Structure 1
Amino acid sequence: MSATHSASHSFDLIIVGAGLAGAALACVVAQANKELRIAMVEAQTLPAEPPSLAQAVQGFDPRVSALTLASQQLLQGIGVWPAIISQRAEAYSHMQVWDAEGTGSVSFEAAEVNQPCLGYIVENRITLSALLNTLKGLANVQCFNPAKVAALESEPQQRCLRLEDGQRLSAPLMVAADGANSLLRQQAGFAVREWDYQHRAIVATVQTELPHQHTAWQRFLPQGPLAFLPLAAAAEADSHFCSIVWSAVPEYAQQLMALDDQTFAQQLAAAFEHKLGAVQALSQRYSFPLQQRHAVDYIQPGLALVGDAAHSIHPLAGQGINLGFSDVAVLAEEILRASQRGLALADYSILQRYQRRRKADNLSMMLAMDGFKRLFAETNIALRWLRNTGMNSFNRSPAIKRKIMRSAMGLN
């Protein structure tokens, strides 16, 4: 996976962005068809070594994902799942959700859908490291890194990239996997609908007094939802580490970020109703605004968007990268189908089928998450009562719960 430095390079497929979605797409396609020449372009310097995995709050990546079983199956197919599990991944078998403004609560158990777990909490750097290590062994993938895009250009039957170092790459099909602020999406002029959630997320790693019980916890507070996600430990007795995601209105988030560590830890434990006892240790905190974006179209002739470049979502249910991996699975399937049938990879019917298969599902999940966010932000007493009554009724409806759980896990 190395790059030469001639002025011009021609490929069958160019993927811009070597994050989780882009790297996964390159692995799937390159492994399935070794004749395809694939370029991977990434602006940031990629790590050369696997991450150091110290067992302390500062030793965890603050960016984690709640990978569904469908995402696990994709990573298993690529061959990277054993490497992820051998490093650090927490299988969680329970999920507890409750309303701070009432008595409503919902619990989910893996046994209800006859699965060993609901999903896995994995640090993003661990998943990415496993993907990049696999890419290094693929002779038909050429990596340009660090390489910043200067311009996106079009020619008949080709999409072209001009890099800042003067190199020029061309291919009939290009995929933008360069994140929520996708440069390629902007340069290509894709229309995007976006709105600000009026929330900021605070993320950190904590060590708690009590073990996390292999449970993902979420409490809906008036200022926004608070999640404690269990992290893997070196030994069962050390299961006291969690990744926290606290979404709050900007003013309150700013106040929380201004607190010293001890005071923040106390307020965090109180906001969580001390479900896991005291917060005994706290990593560095990070805060960022929450916005939702959705491209009106995912495709143009010779160009497709995947992952956050196509859609970004509130972290409420941890579905962001799972939607991205679903994009990857479908787009790879369509690319490989075209190759097997002797069609051009950029055949517009192929791209249209990808968009048709993914856009409705992504939009449905985004609308559902937006609805949840608005529902739990509602302060009207009557609506709060209905909300709590509905949660409790839902919790007592096994058939409906199983359907929702299977859908969220990607098992339908």
Structure 2
Amino acid sequence: MSDAARDFDVVVVGGGMVGAAFAAALSGKGLSIAVIEAREPARDWPEGEIDLRVSALSRASQRILERLDIWSRVQVLGSSPYRHMHVWDAVGGGEIHFDSESVGQADLGHIVENRVIQLALWESLEQLDDVTLFCPGAISDIERERGRSHLLFTDGRAIECGLLVGADGRDSLVRSLAGIETEGWDYGQRAIVANVRPAEWHQETAWQRFLPTGPLALLPLADGRCSIVWSATDARAAALMALDDQDFSNALTDAFEARLGRLTVEGPRAAVPLRLQHAKHYVQHGLALIGDAAHAIHPLAGQGVNLGFLDAAELVVALEHAIGCGRDIGGLWALRRYERSRRGDNMLMLAAMDAFKRLFSNDHPAISAVRSLGLEVTDRVKPVKRLFMTRALGLGVDLPPLAAP
């Protein structure tokens, strides 16, 4: 390895929401940290403009951002609490309703634009003396030897580290160059994202209707609009994307049963291909994967970034433990602690969301009747319903310190 390369204890490839949160959480532990990101987040945007990409943050994710001292900045930039969740089946007609008051909470979570979360985290990183930002920056290759990584930039620069953290998304270059295989499958679906204005108030409710071609979700925004995530088969998504705004709004209103009156699309639309993907290993000597680099999940429950934040928090716990014991932070003794704490839980969540997707995409009359009955029964049996809500809110006890109540 080159003697000229700058040396860091930890290098994070990917300064998006999860990678930035990890770097911020690791700061102050006596380590030198580098974050490599292709582009800076947007610093400002036109008033009234809503980004197409939003996240439904759980209470656990909110606590992480609070403890990183950036939640107040997120609120200034813009967040939208939701207090209810209403889910129903298009074929069988079963429904279930969740209310934050029933579990003694002010809300069920917050809808926040991804760019808001990333900007708040990025501003925090810029103030940290132990974090060096390489932005714009992109790597072309990684040379690894005895657990150490030598990273080559596309512009010829090079840096080295004892621990390389891949937070570079579901098409992770770090994971690919490390030779870590994934398992999973394409869903043959695309998620159409857009912002719409309902004729009636959204009631601070996250709405979801399960259609045979995929779920349709409406997420409430503070200004009265809603962000939609409409998952549909590739053919159906292509047909919907080809419609003009008026016809798309008509199709959307029909698909939603006009529960909030007419839904009028405002601004652009985008369609993202969906797949389930899980890394066979999260760690190697001197390397760890977090967030979408480790797992990609169907968006029907909005759990992607929440799982990623928990990855980041658990990896910090593992590294703190190694530091406290005088062990190598890049050693498998430390990193397997992280993998054990997260891979099983993530696998269960991926499997659960996959099962929901398959169950509600089936329009066989018998299956439709059973699942609708299940929704109705769950809605009436309060202990079961409360269990679902506790899990979704991130109120469980088995959480890393950054996320724990």
TM exceeding 0.5: yes
Choose which of 27, 37, 40 in structure 2 pairs with 1:46. 40
Q: Distance in 1 between matches of 2:331 and 2:67?
A: 26
User: By how many angstroms is 1:281 displaced?
Assistant: 4.2
Give the AA of the match of 1:259.
Answer: L
* Mapped contact 1:334–1:354 kept (Cα < 8 A): yes
1:247 equivalenced with 2:235 (yes/no) = no
Aligned to 1:70: 60
1:338 equivalenced with 2:335 (yes/no) = no
User: By how many angstroms is 1:334 displaced?
Assistant: 1.1
SS of equivalent residue, structure 2 residue 175: helix
SS of equivalent residue, structure 2 residue 268: coil
User: By how many angstroms is 1:169 displaced?
Assistant: 1.1
Q: Distance in 1 between matches of 2:247 and 2:113?
A: 26
* Mapped contact 2:86–2:205 kept (Cα < 8 A): yes
Percentage of identical aligned residues: 44
Aligned to 1:228: 218
* Mapped contact 2:148–2:161 kept (Cα < 8 A): yes
* Mapped contact 1:338–1:344 kept (Cα < 8 A): yes
Q: Distance in 2 between matches of 1:323 and 1:212?
A: 27
SS of equivalent residue, structure 1 residue 50: coil
Choose which of 100, 106, 126 in structure 1 pairs with 2:90. 100
Identify if the C-alpha distance between structure 1 residues 145 and 7 changes in structure 2 by more than 3 Å, giving closer, same or farther. Answer: farther
Cα deviation 1:144-196 (Å, max 9, x = unaligned): 11111111111234122111222221111110000000001001000100201
5 Å-filtered alignment, 1:3-402, equals: 7-30=4-27, 32-33=28-29, 35-42=30-37, 44-47=38-41, 50-52=43-45, 54-55=47-48, 59-233=49-223, 239=224, 241-402=225-386
Per the normalisation by structure 2, the TM-score is: 0.95
SS of equivalent residue, structure 2 residue 85: strand
Give the AA of the match of 2:240.
Answer: L
Give the AA of the match of 1:37.
Answer: S
SS of equivalent residue, structure 1 residue 402: helix
Aligned to 2:399: none
Give the AA of the match of 1:351.
Answer: L
Q: Give the stretch that moved more between structures: 334-343 or 129-138.
A: 334-343
SS of equivalent residue, structure 1 residue 172: strand
Give the AA of the match of 2:328.
Answer: A
Q: Distance in 1 between matches of 2:86 and 2:212?
A: 18
Q: Distance in 2 between matches of 1:137 and 1:143?
A: 11
Q: Distance in 2 between matches of 1:407 and 1:164?
A: 43
Cα deviation 1:91-132 (Å, max 9, x = unaligned): 101000000112200101111211111110000000000000
Cα deviation 1:251-271 (Å, max 9, x = unaligned): 111111111101100110111
Q: Distance in 2 between matches of 1:252 and 1:156?
A: 50
SS of equivalent residue, structure 1 residue 11: strand
* Mapped contact 1:7–1:167 kept (Cα < 8 A): no
Q: Distance in 2 between matches of 1:224 and 1:359?
A: 27
Give the AA of the match of 2:363.
Answer: T
* Mapped contact 1:201–1:246 kept (Cα < 8 A): yes
User: By how many angstroms is 1:382 displaced?
Assistant: 1.0
* Mapped contact 2:194–2:265 kept (Cα < 8 A): no
Q: Distance in 2 between matches of 1:98 and 1:149?
A: 45
Q: Distance in 1 between matches of 2:126 and 2:268?
A: 32
Q: Distance in 1 between matches of 2:147 and 2:257?
A: 60
* Mapped contact 1:71–1:325 kept (Cα < 8 A): yes
* Mapped contact 1:206–1:282 kept (Cα < 8 A): yes
Aligned to 2:403: none
Cα deviation 1:343-374 (Å, max 9, x = unaligned): 21112111001000000110000000000000
Q: Distance in 1 between matches of 2:283 and 2:254?
A: 47
Aligned residues: 394
Give the AA of the match of 2:36.
Answer: V
Identify if the C-alpha distance between structure 1 residues 281 and 250 changes in structure 2 by more than 3 Å, giving closer, same or farther. Answer: closer
Q: Distance in 2 between matches of 1:331 and 1:226?
A: 34
Per the normalisation by structure 1, the TM-score is: 0.94
User: By how many angstroms is 1:53 displaced?
Assistant: 5.1
Aligned to 1:236: none
Q: Distance in 2 between matches of 1:150 and 1:223?
A: 39
Q: Distance in 2 between matches of 1:356 and 1:254?
A: 40
Cα deviation 1:14-71 (Å, max 9, x = unaligned): 10000001000000001x32x21101111x2213x6332522xxx1010000000000
* Mapped contact 1:265–1:282 kept (Cα < 8 A): no
SS of equivalent residue, structure 1 residue 133: helix
Q: Distance in 1 between matches of 2:316 and 2:80?
A: 28
List runs of 5+ in structure 2 lacking aligned partners: 397-405
